[in-house]
Amino acid sequence: MNTIWALAKVVVLEMVRRKDFYVLFILTVLLTATAGSVNLFNDRSIVRYLKEICLLLIWACGLVIAITCTARQIPAERESRTIFPLLAKPVTRGQFLLGKFFGCWLATGLALLLFYIFFGLVSASRDHEWPVLNYLQAAWLHWLMLGIVVAFTLLGSIVFAAPSSNGTICFVSAAGILVLGRHLNKVALSLAEPLQSLLYAFYFALPHLELFDARGLIIHGSELIRWDMIALATLYAAAYAAFFLFAAWLVFRRRPLN
C-alpha cells in the first residue's frame, strides 16, 4: 500500500506543477464570476441559466483534466525510461497501475474541490444560501464518474501508444455516452432483429456516466438524492473502474515495455 501511495503522490505533484489545471481554472473563474455578477431585471431564471453554463464548463474541465492527466502517465514513463527502474524494484505492474489510477483520481478530485468551492462561494453571494449537502452529493457523484473515466483512459494508454489519440478517443467516448447513452435503448426499439438485441446488449454494457450528473441539485435546488442511491452509485462506479483496471492489468502484464 505504501508503494501505491508513493506512486500516487508523484502523480498529484506532477499535476500541481503543470499549467493545464491553472488555465482551465482561470477560465472557469472568469465564467463563474460573470454568472455571479449578472442579474438582469432581477430575473432569477437568468442566474440559473448562467449557473448551468458554469457547471457545464466544470464538467468539461473535469473531463479534460482527468483524461489528459491519465493519458500521458504510462507513455511519459516509457519515453523518459523511468518505468524500467520502477519495475526493476519490488513494484509489480498491478501496483504501478493502481498508483497511477489513484494519483490521477486524487488529482482530479482536488481540482474538482477547488472548482466547486469557488462556484459555491460565487453562487452564495448571489443567492444568499449555500446548500452544502447538495454540493456534496453533486461533487461526489461527479468524482465517481471521473473515476470510471480515469480507469478507462488508463486502459487506453496501454492499448494506444500516443497520448493524443488515446485522449481524443476517451474524450469522444465519454462525451458520447453522456449525451447519447441514455437514448440508445429508445433507438433500439426502432431497429429490427438482430440489431435490436445487439444495441440493447451494448446499452446495458455501457458505463452510464449520465447517471452521475446531479447538476440539477445545484441549479434548481432539487431535493437531496437518497443516500442509499448514492451508495449504489458508488458501488456501480467502483465495479466499472475495477473492470477497466483489471483489463488494463491483463493487457499490461503481457505488453513489452519498450
**pLDDT at residue 144 in the model:** 96
Q: Check residue 42 and give left, alpha or beta (phi > 0: left; psi -120 to 50: alpha).
A: left
Q: Say if residues 155 and 244 touch (Cβ distance below 8 Å).
A: yes
**pLDDT at residue 142 in the model:** 94
Q: Say if residues 255 and 162 touch (Cβ distance below 8 Å).
A: no
Q: Check residue 80 and give left, alpha or beta (phi > 0: left; psi -120 to 50: alpha).
A: alpha
Instruction: Tell whether 257 is covered by a domain.
Output: no
**pLDDT at residue 39 in the model:** 52
Instruction: Tell whether 151 is covered by a domain.
Output: yes
**pLDDT at residue 6 in the model:** 82
Domain that holds residue 11: 2-252
**Sign of the CA dihedral running 220, 235, 170, 190:** negative
Instruction: Tell whether 16 is covered by a domain.
Output: yes
**pLDDT at residue 243 in the model:** 95
Block residue for cell numbers 432539487: 222
Instruction: Tell whether 206 is covered by a domain.
Output: yes
For the chain, which residues score pLDDT lower than 50?
A: 40-41
DSSP state of 111: H
Domain count, the chain: 1
Instruction: Tell whether 243 is covered by a domain.
Output: yes
Instruction: Tell whether 258 is covered by a domain.
Output: no
**pLDDT at residue 38 in the model:** 57
**pLDDT at residue 152 in the model:** 94
Q: What is the pTM of this model?
A: 0.88
Amino acid at 8: A
Instruction: Tell whether 110 is covered by a domain.
Output: yes
**pLDDT at residue 224 in the model:** 86
**pLDDT at residue 32 in the model:** 65
Question: What is the rounded radius of gyration, in angstroms, for the C-alpha atoms of the chain?
Answer: 20
175: Cβ–Cβ under 8 A, 6 or more apart, which residues?
63
Q: Say if residues 138 and 120 touch (Cβ distance below 8 Å).
A: no
Work out the burial of residue 73: count CB atoms within 10 Å of its CB; fewer than 13 is exposed, 13-18 middle, 19 or more buried: buried
Q: Quick one: cell of 6?
A: 508513493
